[in-house]
Chain A
Amino acid sequence: MSEVVIQAEGLTRYFGRKKAVDSLSLSVRRGSVYGFLGRNGSGKTTTIRMLLGMLHSTRGQSTLLGCDSENLTPEVKARVGYLSEGHPLFTGMRIGEHAEFFRNYYPTWDRLWLDAALARFRLDPKRRVGTLSRGERAQVALALCLAPQPELLILDDPALGLDPVVRRDFLESIVELIQTEGRTIFFSSHNLADVERVADRIGIIEEGVLRADCGLDTFKENVRRVRCRFREGQRPTISLPGLLRLRWLENEATLTLASFDESRLDRLRELGAEEVEPVDAGLEDLFIDYTAPLSGRV
Protein backbone atom coordinates (compact mmCIF):
# COMPACT_ATOMS: atom_id res chain seq x y z
CA MET A 1 0.00 0.00 0.00
CA SER A 2 1.42 3.36 -0.89
CA GLU A 3 1.85 6.04 1.69
CA VAL A 4 0.26 8.99 -0.06
CA VAL A 5 -3.43 8.62 -0.75
CA ILE A 6 -4.26 12.11 -1.98
CA GLN A 7 -1.78 14.17 -3.95
CA ALA A 8 -2.50 17.52 -5.52
CA GLU A 9 -0.01 19.68 -7.39
CA GLY A 10 -0.71 23.18 -8.52
CA LEU A 11 -4.44 22.67 -8.83
CA THR A 12 -5.97 25.76 -10.34
CA ARG A 13 -9.49 26.42 -11.47
CA TYR A 14 -11.08 29.43 -13.08
CA PHE A 15 -14.76 30.10 -13.41
CA GLY A 16 -14.83 32.69 -16.12
CA ARG A 17 -12.36 35.23 -14.89
CA LYS A 18 -12.70 34.35 -11.25
CA LYS A 19 -9.95 32.21 -9.82
CA ALA A 20 -11.68 29.80 -7.47
CA VAL A 21 -8.63 27.70 -6.63
CA ASP A 22 -5.09 28.97 -6.99
CA SER A 23 -2.13 26.60 -7.33
CA LEU A 24 -3.21 24.31 -4.56
CA SER A 25 -0.76 21.60 -3.58
CA LEU A 26 -1.20 19.16 -0.79
CA SER A 27 -0.49 15.61 0.07
CA VAL A 28 -2.39 13.39 2.48
CA ARG A 29 -0.83 10.29 3.93
CA ARG A 30 -2.54 7.04 4.63
CA GLY A 31 -4.04 6.83 8.11
CA SER A 32 -4.47 10.55 8.42
CA VAL A 33 -7.60 12.44 9.36
CA TYR A 34 -7.31 15.67 7.43
CA GLY A 35 -9.57 18.60 8.24
CA PHE A 36 -9.96 20.87 5.23
CA LEU A 37 -11.05 24.23 6.55
CA GLY A 38 -12.11 27.43 4.95
CA ARG A 39 -14.84 29.98 4.92
CA ASN A 40 -17.82 29.74 2.63
CA GLY A 41 -16.81 30.35 -0.95
CA SER A 42 -13.13 29.83 -0.27
CA GLY A 43 -12.81 27.00 -2.76
CA LYS A 44 -13.28 23.90 -0.64
CA THR A 45 -15.98 22.23 -2.71
CA THR A 46 -14.24 23.16 -5.95
CA THR A 47 -11.06 21.54 -4.72
CA ILE A 48 -12.85 18.42 -3.60
CA ARG A 49 -14.65 18.15 -6.93
CA MET A 50 -11.35 18.40 -8.75
CA LEU A 51 -9.80 15.72 -6.56
CA LEU A 52 -12.66 13.41 -7.43
CA GLY A 53 -12.47 14.14 -11.11
CA MET A 54 -15.89 15.74 -11.24
CA LEU A 55 -14.48 19.04 -12.33
CA HIS A 56 -11.59 19.64 -14.68
CA SER A 57 -8.73 21.63 -13.34
CA THR A 58 -7.64 24.55 -15.45
CA ARG A 59 -4.07 23.74 -14.50
CA GLY A 60 -2.33 21.27 -12.27
CA GLN A 61 -3.14 17.70 -11.45
CA SER A 62 -4.11 15.42 -8.64
CA THR A 63 -4.24 11.75 -7.81
CA LEU A 64 -6.34 9.61 -5.51
CA LEU A 65 -4.83 6.35 -4.33
CA GLY A 66 -2.22 6.81 -6.99
CA CYS A 67 -4.72 7.18 -9.81
CA ASP A 68 -5.05 10.36 -11.84
CA SER A 69 -8.19 12.21 -10.78
CA GLU A 70 -9.34 12.89 -14.30
CA ASN A 71 -9.22 9.19 -15.13
CA LEU A 72 -10.33 7.42 -12.01
CA THR A 73 -10.82 3.76 -12.73
CA PRO A 74 -13.89 1.97 -11.38
CA GLU A 75 -11.58 -0.13 -9.25
CA VAL A 76 -10.24 2.95 -7.49
CA LYS A 77 -13.66 4.56 -7.21
CA ALA A 78 -14.88 1.48 -5.39
CA ARG A 79 -12.34 2.18 -2.67
CA VAL A 80 -13.18 5.83 -2.26
CA GLY A 81 -16.23 6.97 -0.35
CA TYR A 82 -17.64 10.38 -1.16
CA LEU A 83 -20.29 12.45 0.51
CA SER A 84 -21.15 15.55 -1.45
CA GLU A 85 -22.51 18.81 -0.12
CA GLY A 86 -26.02 18.70 1.22
CA HIS A 87 -26.24 14.91 1.64
CA PRO A 88 -28.01 14.30 -1.68
CA LEU A 89 -30.01 11.13 -2.08
CA PHE A 90 -32.41 9.71 -4.63
CA THR A 91 -35.59 10.97 -3.09
CA GLY A 92 -37.93 8.62 -4.89
CA MET A 93 -36.51 5.48 -3.39
CA ARG A 94 -37.01 3.82 -0.08
CA ILE A 95 -34.02 3.61 2.23
CA GLY A 96 -33.71 -0.12 1.69
CA GLU A 97 -33.89 0.26 -2.08
CA HIS A 98 -31.28 2.96 -1.97
CA ALA A 99 -28.96 0.72 0.00
CA GLU A 100 -29.55 -2.10 -2.41
CA PHE A 101 -28.76 0.19 -5.32
CA PHE A 102 -25.33 0.94 -3.93
CA ARG A 103 -24.70 -2.54 -2.66
CA ASN A 104 -24.64 -3.78 -6.23
CA TYR A 105 -21.58 -1.74 -6.95
CA TYR A 106 -19.38 -2.23 -3.92
CA PRO A 107 -17.86 -5.64 -3.25
CA THR A 108 -16.83 -4.55 0.25
CA TRP A 109 -20.33 -3.52 1.29
CA ASP A 110 -20.96 -4.37 4.94
CA ARG A 111 -24.64 -5.10 5.10
CA LEU A 112 -24.71 -6.00 8.76
CA TRP A 113 -23.02 -2.77 9.73
CA LEU A 114 -25.54 -0.76 7.73
CA ASP A 115 -28.51 -2.57 9.19
CA ALA A 116 -27.13 -1.95 12.66
CA ALA A 117 -26.50 1.72 11.90
CA LEU A 118 -30.02 2.25 10.54
CA ALA A 119 -31.47 0.45 13.56
CA ARG A 120 -29.45 2.67 15.87
CA PHE A 121 -30.91 5.74 14.21
CA ARG A 122 -34.34 4.14 14.27
CA LEU A 123 -34.69 4.47 10.53
CA ASP A 124 -37.06 2.02 8.93
CA PRO A 125 -35.66 0.82 5.60
CA LYS A 126 -39.16 0.92 4.18
CA ARG A 127 -39.46 4.66 4.55
CA ARG A 128 -39.17 6.78 1.45
CA VAL A 129 -36.14 9.01 1.39
CA GLY A 130 -38.27 11.95 0.36
CA THR A 131 -40.21 11.80 3.61
CA LEU A 132 -37.17 11.96 5.85
CA SER A 133 -36.25 15.04 7.81
CA ARG A 134 -33.05 16.89 7.02
CA GLY A 135 -31.16 15.22 9.84
CA GLU A 136 -32.46 11.77 8.98
CA ARG A 137 -31.47 12.19 5.36
CA ALA A 138 -28.00 13.14 6.45
CA GLN A 139 -27.78 10.08 8.66
CA VAL A 140 -28.78 7.85 5.78
CA ALA A 141 -26.36 9.53 3.40
CA LEU A 142 -23.53 9.15 5.90
CA ALA A 143 -24.36 5.55 6.60
CA LEU A 144 -24.51 4.70 2.88
CA CYS A 145 -21.18 6.40 2.44
CA LEU A 146 -19.52 4.40 5.20
CA ALA A 147 -21.12 1.05 4.44
CA PRO A 148 -18.63 0.02 1.73
CA GLN A 149 -15.82 0.39 4.30
CA PRO A 150 -13.89 2.73 2.02
CA GLU A 151 -10.13 3.04 2.20
CA LEU A 152 -10.34 6.74 1.55
CA LEU A 153 -13.28 8.79 2.65
CA ILE A 154 -13.85 12.27 1.26
CA LEU A 155 -16.61 14.27 2.93
CA ASP A 156 -17.81 17.71 1.95
CA ASP A 157 -19.31 19.40 4.98
CA PRO A 158 -20.76 16.22 6.46
CA ALA A 159 -22.13 17.83 9.61
CA LEU A 160 -24.09 20.56 7.87
CA GLY A 161 -27.47 21.01 9.46
CA LEU A 162 -27.12 18.16 11.90
CA ASP A 163 -28.08 18.29 15.55
CA PRO A 164 -25.41 17.65 18.20
CA VAL A 165 -26.49 14.08 18.84
CA VAL A 166 -26.23 13.09 15.21
CA ARG A 167 -22.97 14.98 14.88
CA ARG A 168 -21.49 13.12 17.81
CA ASP A 169 -22.61 9.81 16.40
CA PHE A 170 -21.03 10.68 13.09
CA LEU A 171 -17.77 11.56 14.83
CA GLU A 172 -17.83 8.21 16.56
CA SER A 173 -18.19 6.53 13.19
CA ILE A 174 -15.16 8.46 12.02
CA VAL A 175 -13.14 7.37 15.04
CA GLU A 176 -14.23 3.80 14.49
CA LEU A 177 -13.35 3.91 10.82
CA ILE A 178 -9.93 5.35 11.39
CA GLN A 179 -9.06 2.61 13.87
CA THR A 180 -8.87 0.15 11.00
CA GLU A 181 -5.48 -0.06 9.43
CA GLY A 182 -4.87 1.95 6.36
CA ARG A 183 -7.98 4.11 6.29
CA THR A 184 -7.80 7.81 5.54
CA ILE A 185 -10.34 10.55 5.97
CA PHE A 186 -10.39 13.91 4.22
CA PHE A 187 -13.21 16.18 5.20
CA SER A 188 -14.21 19.80 5.05
CA SER A 189 -16.21 21.22 7.88
CA HIS A 190 -17.33 24.40 9.54
CA ASN A 191 -17.64 22.64 12.83
CA LEU A 192 -14.19 23.28 14.18
CA ALA A 193 -14.82 21.80 17.59
CA ASP A 194 -15.46 18.48 15.90
CA VAL A 195 -12.47 18.87 13.62
CA GLU A 196 -10.33 19.53 16.65
CA ARG A 197 -11.31 16.23 18.19
CA VAL A 198 -10.55 13.92 15.35
CA ALA A 199 -8.22 15.59 12.88
CA ASP A 200 -4.49 15.15 13.06
CA ARG A 201 -3.76 17.47 10.15
CA ILE A 202 -5.52 20.56 8.93
CA GLY A 203 -5.42 22.69 5.83
CA ILE A 204 -6.86 26.18 5.64
CA ILE A 205 -7.92 27.51 2.28
CA GLU A 206 -8.64 31.17 1.80
CA GLU A 207 -9.85 32.67 -1.48
CA GLY A 208 -8.54 29.68 -3.35
CA VAL A 209 -5.11 29.67 -1.77
CA LEU A 210 -3.98 27.03 0.72
CA ARG A 211 -2.55 29.15 3.47
CA ALA A 212 -1.88 26.50 6.09
CA ASP A 213 -1.19 22.81 5.75
CA CYS A 214 0.22 21.25 8.87
CA GLY A 215 -0.42 19.06 11.87
CA LEU A 216 -3.19 20.24 14.14
CA ASP A 217 -0.87 20.32 17.14
CA THR A 218 1.68 22.30 15.15
CA PHE A 219 -0.95 24.82 14.18
CA LYS A 220 -2.05 25.25 17.75
CA GLU A 221 1.52 25.62 18.92
CA ASN A 222 2.28 28.26 16.36
CA VAL A 223 -0.89 30.26 16.35
CA ARG A 224 -1.49 31.44 19.88
CA ARG A 225 -3.56 33.96 21.71
CA VAL A 226 -1.84 36.13 24.22
CA ARG A 227 -3.38 38.42 26.76
CA CYS A 228 -1.44 41.31 28.16
CA ARG A 229 -2.27 44.03 30.57
CA PHE A 230 -0.76 47.45 30.50
CA ARG A 231 -0.74 50.21 33.04
CA GLU A 232 -3.91 52.20 33.51
CA GLY A 233 -4.55 54.40 30.49
CA GLN A 234 -1.73 53.02 28.41
CA ARG A 235 -2.38 51.77 24.91
CA PRO A 236 0.89 51.51 23.06
CA THR A 237 0.95 50.68 19.38
CA ILE A 238 1.81 47.05 19.13
CA SER A 239 3.54 45.96 16.01
CA LEU A 240 4.92 42.46 15.97
CA PRO A 241 5.76 40.17 13.07
CA GLY A 242 3.00 37.62 12.60
CA LEU A 243 0.35 39.61 14.43
CA LEU A 244 -2.98 38.41 13.11
CA ARG A 245 -5.47 40.19 15.29
CA LEU A 246 -5.46 42.71 18.06
CA ARG A 247 -8.30 43.64 20.35
CA TRP A 248 -8.26 46.21 23.07
CA LEU A 249 -10.46 46.26 26.13
CA GLU A 250 -9.58 49.20 28.36
CA ASN A 251 -5.93 48.61 29.06
CA GLU A 252 -5.94 44.94 28.22
CA ALA A 253 -4.95 43.66 24.82
CA THR A 254 -5.69 40.24 23.36
CA LEU A 255 -3.50 39.39 20.43
CA THR A 256 -3.36 36.45 18.12
CA LEU A 257 0.07 35.64 16.83
CA ALA A 258 1.24 33.34 14.10
CA SER A 259 4.64 31.66 14.43
CA PHE A 260 4.58 32.09 18.14
CA ASP A 261 7.63 31.87 20.34
CA GLU A 262 8.75 33.16 23.72
CA SER A 263 10.57 36.13 22.25
CA ARG A 264 7.24 37.65 21.33
CA LEU A 265 6.28 37.68 24.98
CA ASP A 266 9.51 39.43 25.85
CA ARG A 267 8.85 41.98 23.17
CA LEU A 268 5.47 42.71 24.69
CA ARG A 269 7.07 43.19 28.08
CA GLU A 270 9.48 45.61 26.48
CA LEU A 271 6.53 47.59 25.22
CA GLY A 272 5.43 48.00 28.80
CA ALA A 273 3.08 45.13 29.44
CA GLU A 274 2.76 44.30 33.11
CA GLU A 275 1.17 40.92 32.66
CA VAL A 276 1.75 38.77 29.64
CA GLU A 277 0.35 35.30 29.32
CA PRO A 278 -0.70 32.96 26.56
CA VAL A 279 -4.31 31.93 26.88
CA ASP A 280 -6.21 28.87 25.84
CA ALA A 281 -7.81 29.20 22.46
CA GLY A 282 -9.66 26.53 20.61
CA LEU A 283 -9.30 25.84 16.92
CA GLU A 284 -12.41 27.85 16.19
CA ASP A 285 -11.06 31.00 17.81
CA LEU A 286 -7.70 30.60 16.13
CA PHE A 287 -9.29 29.91 12.78
CA ILE A 288 -11.45 33.02 13.02
CA ASP A 289 -8.44 35.15 13.76
CA TYR A 290 -6.37 33.44 11.12
CA THR A 291 -8.91 34.06 8.39
CA ALA A 292 -10.17 37.40 9.60
CA PRO A 293 -11.01 39.75 6.75
CA LEU A 294 -7.99 41.66 5.63
CA SER A 295 -9.43 44.91 6.87
CA GLY A 296 -9.54 43.51 10.39
CA ARG A 297 -6.03 42.24 10.13
CA VAL A 298 -3.10 44.20 11.42
Chain B
Amino acid sequence: MRFAVNPSSTEPVYAQIVRQVREAVARGVLRPGERIPSVRDLALQLVINPNTIAAAYREMERAGLVYSQRGKGTFVAEISNSSSAAERRRLLQKHVDALLTEATHLGFREEECLEMVRAAAKRYRLRESAHE
Protein backbone atom coordinates (compact mmCIF):
# COMPACT_ATOMS: atom_id res chain seq x y z
CA MET B 1 0.00 0.00 0.00
CA ARG B 2 1.27 3.44 -0.82
CA PHE B 3 0.96 6.07 1.85
CA ALA B 4 0.78 9.69 0.79
CA VAL B 5 0.53 12.62 3.12
CA ASN B 6 0.13 16.29 2.59
CA PRO B 7 1.82 18.17 5.40
CA SER B 8 0.28 21.44 4.26
CA SER B 9 -3.23 20.23 4.70
CA THR B 10 -5.23 21.40 7.65
CA GLU B 11 -5.98 17.80 8.47
CA PRO B 12 -3.17 16.73 10.81
CA VAL B 13 -0.76 14.28 9.25
CA TYR B 14 -1.44 11.60 11.83
CA ALA B 15 -5.14 11.79 11.00
CA GLN B 16 -4.37 11.47 7.31
CA ILE B 17 -2.48 8.28 7.95
CA VAL B 18 -5.23 6.80 10.09
CA ARG B 19 -7.79 7.69 7.46
CA GLN B 20 -5.75 6.11 4.70
CA VAL B 21 -5.29 2.90 6.63
CA ARG B 22 -8.99 2.73 7.41
CA GLU B 23 -9.89 3.18 3.76
CA ALA B 24 -7.30 0.67 2.65
CA VAL B 25 -8.63 -1.92 5.08
CA ALA B 26 -12.21 -1.20 4.06
CA ARG B 27 -11.36 -1.72 0.42
CA GLY B 28 -9.36 -4.81 1.04
CA VAL B 29 -6.14 -3.22 -0.13
CA LEU B 30 -4.82 -4.09 3.30
CA ARG B 31 -5.92 -7.43 4.62
CA PRO B 32 -6.14 -8.59 8.22
CA GLY B 33 -2.82 -10.01 9.31
CA GLU B 34 -0.88 -8.01 6.77
CA ARG B 35 2.13 -6.12 8.03
CA ILE B 36 2.35 -2.36 7.72
CA PRO B 37 5.71 -0.55 7.71
CA SER B 38 7.34 0.20 11.04
CA VAL B 39 7.17 3.71 12.43
CA ARG B 40 10.81 4.14 11.58
CA ASP B 41 10.50 3.00 7.99
CA LEU B 42 7.39 4.99 7.30
CA ALA B 43 8.90 8.14 8.82
CA LEU B 44 11.90 7.82 6.53
CA GLN B 45 9.81 6.95 3.51
CA LEU B 46 7.45 9.89 3.92
CA VAL B 47 10.08 12.18 5.46
CA ILE B 48 7.85 13.09 8.35
CA ASN B 49 8.65 13.48 12.01
CA PRO B 50 8.59 9.99 13.50
CA ASN B 51 6.61 11.22 16.49
CA THR B 52 3.77 12.06 14.17
CA ILE B 53 3.86 8.57 12.69
CA ALA B 54 4.01 7.12 16.17
CA ALA B 55 0.96 9.14 17.14
CA ALA B 56 -0.91 7.73 14.15
CA TYR B 57 0.03 4.20 15.08
CA ARG B 58 -1.00 4.73 18.67
CA GLU B 59 -4.36 6.04 17.54
CA MET B 60 -4.87 3.09 15.22
CA GLU B 61 -3.98 0.64 17.94
CA ARG B 62 -6.35 2.33 20.31
CA ALA B 63 -9.14 2.15 17.74
CA GLY B 64 -8.44 -1.52 17.20
CA LEU B 65 -7.46 -0.97 13.58
CA VAL B 66 -4.01 -2.48 14.01
CA TYR B 67 -2.12 -4.45 16.61
CA SER B 68 1.58 -4.74 17.25
CA GLN B 69 3.70 -7.71 18.17
CA ARG B 70 6.96 -7.02 19.90
CA GLY B 71 9.87 -7.68 17.63
CA LYS B 72 7.67 -8.63 14.71
CA GLY B 73 5.99 -5.40 13.70
CA THR B 74 2.54 -3.89 13.31
CA PHE B 75 -0.27 -5.78 11.65
CA VAL B 76 -3.75 -5.06 10.40
CA ALA B 77 -6.46 -6.32 12.69
CA GLU B 78 -9.69 -8.00 11.73
CA ILE B 79 -12.47 -5.58 11.07
CA SER B 80 -14.58 -5.72 14.18
CA ASN B 81 -16.83 -3.38 15.95
CA SER B 82 -18.08 -3.99 19.42
CA SER B 83 -20.56 -1.12 19.53
CA SER B 84 -24.25 -1.87 19.89
CA ALA B 85 -26.45 -2.07 16.82
CA ALA B 86 -28.11 1.23 17.71
CA GLU B 87 -24.75 2.95 18.19
CA ARG B 88 -23.47 1.68 14.85
CA ARG B 89 -26.55 2.90 13.04
CA ARG B 90 -26.21 6.27 14.67
CA LEU B 91 -22.60 6.63 13.55
CA LEU B 92 -23.33 5.66 9.97
CA GLN B 93 -26.46 7.82 9.79
CA LYS B 94 -24.34 10.97 9.78
CA HIS B 95 -22.52 9.87 6.66
CA VAL B 96 -25.76 8.73 5.01
CA ASP B 97 -27.22 12.16 5.61
CA ALA B 98 -24.16 13.83 4.20
CA LEU B 99 -24.25 11.66 1.09
CA LEU B 100 -27.92 12.31 0.48
CA THR B 101 -27.56 16.05 1.05
CA GLU B 102 -24.90 16.21 -1.65
CA ALA B 103 -26.94 14.00 -3.95
CA THR B 104 -29.97 16.25 -3.55
CA HIS B 105 -28.03 19.41 -4.31
CA LEU B 106 -26.42 17.74 -7.28
CA GLY B 107 -29.83 16.74 -8.59
CA PHE B 108 -29.69 12.97 -8.38
CA ARG B 109 -32.71 10.72 -8.36
CA GLU B 110 -33.07 8.07 -5.68
CA GLU B 111 -32.41 5.18 -8.07
CA GLU B 112 -29.30 6.76 -9.55
CA CYS B 113 -27.98 7.35 -6.09
CA LEU B 114 -28.61 3.81 -4.91
CA GLU B 115 -27.09 2.44 -8.10
CA MET B 116 -23.91 4.34 -7.43
CA VAL B 117 -23.80 3.03 -3.89
CA ARG B 118 -24.32 -0.56 -5.04
CA ALA B 119 -21.62 -0.32 -7.68
CA ALA B 120 -19.14 1.12 -5.24
CA ALA B 121 -19.99 -1.41 -2.52
CA LYS B 122 -18.45 -4.15 -4.63
CA ARG B 123 -15.05 -2.59 -4.09
CA TYR B 124 -15.37 -2.67 -0.34
CA ARG B 125 -15.26 -5.45 2.14
CA LEU B 126 -18.68 -5.07 3.56
CA ARG B 127 -19.70 -7.73 5.99
CA GLU B 128 -21.42 -10.79 4.48
CA SER B 129 -23.39 -12.23 7.34
CA ALA B 130 -25.74 -10.35 9.61
CA HIS B 131 -24.87 -9.40 13.15
CA GLU B 132 -26.36 -11.49 15.94
Contacts and interface: CB of A to CB of B under 8 A. Distances in A.
Contacts of B12: 217, 220
B69 interface: no
A179 B48 contact: no
A278 B11 CA distance: 11
The winner among B47, B49, B50, B52 for most chain A CB atoms within 10 A is: B49
A282 B11 CA distance: 10
B43 A280 contact: no
B8 interface: yes
A37 interface: no
Contacts of B50: 175, 178-179
A284 B8 contact: yes
A130 B125 CA distance: 61
Interface stretch (A85-93, A98-106, A191-199): A191-199
Contact of A175 (B7, B9, B10, B49): B49
B104 interface: no
A176 interface: yes
A283 interface: yes
Contacts of A196: 7-8
Given A193-B7, A224-B10, A199 B49 contact: yes
A200 B52 contact: yes
Contacts of B48: 175, 197-198
B8 A280 contact: yes
A285 B10 CA distance: 12
Interface string B24-44: 000000000000000010011
Nearest to A33: B49
B49 A200 contact: yes
A1 B50 CA distance: 21
Contacts of A179: 40, 43, 50
A280 B44 contact: no
B101 interface: no
Interface residues of B, number: 15
Interface string A58-95: 00000000000000000000000000000000000000
Nearest to B51: A200
Nearest to B7: A196
A172 interface: yes
A33 B48 CA distance: 11
A118 B44 CA distance: 19
Nearest to B9: A280
Contact of B47 (A172, A217, A280): A172
A281 B12 CA distance: 12
A106 to B, nearest CB: 25
B47 A171 contact: yes
Contact of B44 (A176, A200, A282, A285): A176
Interface in A154-202: 168, 171-172, 175-176, 178-179, 193, 196-200
B49 A282 contact: no
A120 to B, nearest CB: 14
A168 B47 contact: yes
B124 to A, nearest CB: 27
Contacts of B43: 175, 179
A193 B7 CA distance: 8
Given A168-B47, A172-B44, A278-B10, 17 more contacts: A33-B49, A171-B47, A175-B44, A175-B48, A175-B49, A179-B40, A179-B43, A179-B50, A193-B8, A197-B47, A198-B48, A199-B49, A200-B51, A280-B8, A282-B8, A283-B7, A283-B8
